[in-house]
C-alpha cells in the first residue's frame, strides 16, 4: 500500500449504530487530519493530530470521536449520527516542518450515508 | 466567514486553450497557497503550491500566480486537456504557530475541458 488509505470506502448506517472509519498513511508523516465534505460546501477540518497528540478539535459534535494510536493510523468513531452527517469523510496526512511546504496528502475518502 | 473563496463554481474550456481558475482570500496571515485537483470518487490530489514570498510558480502546464496586494491567486493550465476535467480546490495555510498545519479550502471550481 502506498499513500493514504481509508476503509471502508462506502458506509450506510442507521442513527443508532456505532461504526468506525479507519485511515492509514504510508508516507512517514507526523500529522494526520479528518475532514468532512458536504455537497456544495468547502472542506471542513474536523480534527488535527500532530505527533499523535490532538492539537485541534474544530467544534465537532461529540458523536464524532477520533483516535490516533500512532503516527500512521487514525480512526473516527461514529455513534448516534444524524442524517445531516451524511457526507464524504476525508483523511489526510502531512509532514509538519515550519518553513517547509504544507502539502497535505489525502485518502480516497469514505462516503457515509446515515439513514 | 469563508476566508478562501472560489467565486466560479464551473468553467468550460476547449481542449488546447488556456484554463484560468481564480481564488480570492481575506486573511493576510496566509503564508502558503496550494491547488488541489479532485476526480469523482477520489480524494483531492496536490497539484502545485506557492509561497507568499513569491508571485509565480510554474510546473509543466500548470502555473500559479499570486497577487498579494489584491489577495488573489490564479491557476493557469495551458494547453488544457480533457484529462484536466476535475474539481479544482484552492487552499491556504495560516502561518501563525497555533494553527500549524491548518489549511483553509475554497468550495472548488468544476473545470470541463471539451474536445
Whether B43 contacts chain A with CB within 8 A:
yes
What's the pLDDT tens digit per position in A12-21?
Answer: 998 888 999 9
The three-class DSSP label of residue B91 is strand
The DSSP bridge partners found for residue A50 are: A31, A53
d(CA B20, CA A15): 43
Cα of A19 to nearest chain B Cα, Å: 21
Q: Which grid coordinates belong to A68?
A: 490516533
Q: Which residue has the higher pLDDT, A54 or A80?
A: A80
- Identity of the residue in A42, A45, A103 whose CB atom sits nearest the CB atom of B49: A103
DSSP class of residue B98? G
- Is residue A81 over pLDDT 90? yes
Confidence of residue A1 (pLDDT cuts 50, 70, 90): low
Each residue's pLDDT tens digit, A51-68: 777 777 778 999 999 999
The reported pLDDT for the residue numbered B102 is 80
For residue A79, the distance in angstroms to the closest alpha carbon of chain B comes to 24
Interface of B with A in 3-32 (CB under 8 A): 4, 32
Of A4, A48, A108, the CB nearest to B101: A48
Tell me if chain A has a CB within 8 Å of the CB of B83: no
Beta bridge partners of A25: A4
List of residues 6+ apart from A102 with CB closer than 8 A:
A94, B32, B34, B49, B93, B101, B103
pLDDT tens, chain B, 115 aa long = 789 999 999 999 999 999 999 999 999 989 899 999 999 888 999 999 999 999 999 999 999 999 999 999 999 999 999 999 999 999 999 877 655 668 899 999 999 999 9
pLDDT digits (tens, 9 = 90+) for A85-114: 999 999 999 887 655 668 899 999 999 999
Q: Is the pLDDT of residue A33 over 90?
A: yes
Distance from CA of A112 to the nearest CA of B (A): 12
Amino acid at each position: 500500500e502506498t499513500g493514504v488509505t481509508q476503509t471502508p470506502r462506502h458506509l450506510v448506517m442507521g442513527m443508532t449504530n456505532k461504526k468506525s472509519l479507519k485511515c492509514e498513511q504510508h508516507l512517514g508523516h507526523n500529522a494526520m487530519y479528518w475532514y468532512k465534505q458536504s455537497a456544495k460546501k468547502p472542506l471542513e477540518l474536523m480534527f488535527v493530530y500532530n505527533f499523535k497528540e490532538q492539537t485541534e478539535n474544530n467544534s465537532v459534535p461529540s458523536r464524532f470521536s477520533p483516535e490516533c494510536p500512532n503516527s500512521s493510523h487514525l480512526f473516527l468513531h461514529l455513534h448516534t449520527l444524524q442524517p445531516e452527517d451524511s457526507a464524504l469523510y476525508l483523511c489526510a496526512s502531512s509532514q509538519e516542518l515550519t518553513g517547509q511546504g504544507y502539502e497535505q496528502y489525502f485518502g480516497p475518502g469514505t462516503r457515509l450515508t446515515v439513514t | 466567514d469563508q476566508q478562501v473563496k472560489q467565486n466560479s463554481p464551473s468553467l468550460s474550456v476547449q481542449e488546447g486553450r488556456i484554463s484560468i481558475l481564480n481564488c480570492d482570500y481575506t486573511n493576510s496571515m496566509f503564508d502558503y497557497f496550494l491547488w488541489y485537483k479532485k476526480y469523482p470518487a477520489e480524494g483531492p490530489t496536490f497539484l502545485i503550491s506557492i509561497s507568499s514570498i513569491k508571485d509565480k510558480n510554474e510546473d509543466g502546464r500548470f502555473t500559479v500566480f499570486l497577487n498579494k496586494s489584491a489577495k488573489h491567486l490564479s491557476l493557469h493550465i495551458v494547453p488544457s486537456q480533457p484529462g484536466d476535467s476535475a474539481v479544482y480546490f484552492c487552499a491556504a495555510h495560516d502561518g501563525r504557530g497555533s494553527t500549524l498545519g491548518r489549511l483553509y479550502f475554497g468550495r472548488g471550481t468544476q473545470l470541463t475541458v471539451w474536445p
